[in-house]
Structures are given as C-alpha cells and as structure tokens.
Amino acid sequence: MRGLKLRIAACFLVFISFASIVKAQDHAIGLRGGITSGINFKWYQSNETAYELIVSNKEKGNLITTLFEFHEPASALLRERFRYYYGFGCHVGYYRESFARLLIDNQGNEYEELDNRHFPAIGFDGIVGLEYKFLILPFSASVDYKPYINLFGPYRILSKGLFDIGFSFKYIF
C-alpha cells in the first residue's frame, strides 16, 4: 500500500512539473488500455502538437513514457474533432521477474526458493493513432499503435515490442 501511495504522489509531482513547463491550450487525463495499460496525461500545446505522459504497469513493473506528438486533421468535415497523430518519445522504469530456484539443504532435502529480481527498462517509443474529440462532452477517445525498443530490459539488451496497441478514453479540461 505504501508503494502505491508513493507511485501516485510521484505521478502527481511529474504531472504538476510537466504542466508548469508546457503552456497548453487543453489538458486531458484518462485511462489507456492495451499492453501498456495505465493513466495518461496529455497537454495540447497547439492544434498541431501535444505532449503525452503515460504511467503504466507492465510485466510486473512500472514505466513512465513521455511522447511528443504531431496532430493532423483526419477528415475535412470533422477537422477539429477527428485527428490522426504520430510522434516519438522515451520511457524509463523497471520490470520485476520472479525465479524459482531448486536448492538442496544439508540433509539432502530439495526445496524451492523464490528470487525476485528487478530489471531496469530504458528505451525509445514511437506512436501513431487516431483521436476523436466529442462535440458536446469534454471527452476524447483514441486508438494507437506504440512500438518501443528497450535499450536495457529483462533478459537482454536491445529488446523490442512491436505489438503495443492501445485504446484511451480521456477527460479534456
């Protein structure tokens, strides 16, 4: 429980410091479902650019992903509401993995010992998606594809994740 409180406090500190740097027209906060599931914050710097922060749980660990996005109209009729976006960014965090080791004591009896290990996760991300802002309600929905490359991660250096597809629902304020 203490770890959860620390994570929430860290998320709010990052959110407040990031929001003070970016002079945005609109802010959005919501949930992202997919392989990288979690809470996402979005700051629309203008109609063409935005910053996004995703705080997620993945593979028994935590990641913070920051992205810089370019937004373009996806439809001439719904120019302000329906947009596609693409961008790049990076992530930092850790993965936790549990290993069961079979050991033998002094009397020759076998027993299992659980070993928890933490692996750093540092890497680069890309993103491509579609976003729809509702006309009457202050909400948006989006679907995106977010591949990533881990410079460091569990099991090896230079691992990749090519199939991170997600759906987000955000409140705009």
CATH number of 2-92+120-172: 2.40.160.20
Angle at 88 between CA 8 and CA 42, to 5 degrees: 40
> Residue 127: what pLDDT?
96
Residues 67-103 pLDDT 10s: 999 999 987 777 778 999 999 999 999 888 777 777 7
d(CA 118, CA 88): 26
Residue 123 C-beta-side C-alpha neighbours within 13 Å: 24
Q: Which one has a higher pLDDT value, 58 or 93?
A: 93
**Residue 23 pLDDT class (50, 70, 90 cuts):** very low
Which tens digits make up the pLDDT trace of 115-136?
Answer: 787 888 899 999 999 999 998 8
